Amino acid sequence: MQDILKLEKVTKKYQAKNGEIEAIRDVSFSVKLGEFVSIIGPSGCGKSTLLSIIAGLEEKNSGDIWVEGQKITGVSKEIGYMLQKDSLLEWRNIYDNVLFGLEIRRKKR
């Protein structure tokens, strides 16, 4: 069965005042069609960083990511995720917030 998502040795480092901070190191896993995967860990361990990298919202320092066999090198239209804290536009109802991504891509019908 083909991998829907595959990560190989993904690493992310940040530059801080006191030196370099390694947020994640050599993360590798794959997800097949129909599988459910949870990413768990304590606050600050890199879960959100990893999801942002998979979605293409943050750049990785090294490693590779594939979605349905296609290498991801930037923001992907195929991937989205819901943040732990909602980021809704207060003046829009829930339905209109859901449609917002389609609107900015001029795909709303």
Looking at residue 85, what is its pLDDT?
67
What are the residues facing 11 on neighbouring strands?
A: 62
Report how far residue 90's alpha carbon sits from residue 61's, in angstroms, rounded to the nearest whole number.
Answer: 35
Q: What are phi and psi of 99, to 5 degrees?
A: -80, -10
Could you please state the CATH topology (level 3) that the domain comprising 3-72+80-104 is classified under.
Rossmann fold (3.40.50)
Q: For the chain, what are the domain ranges?
A: 3-72+80-104
Question: pLDDT digit of tens for each residue in the chain (109 aa)?
Answer: 789 999 999 999 999 899 999 999 999 999 999 999 999 999 889 998 999 899 888 999 999 999 999 998 888 777 777 666 667 788 888 888 888 878 887 876 6
pLDDT of residue 92: 87
Q: What is the pLDDT of residue 78?
A: 75
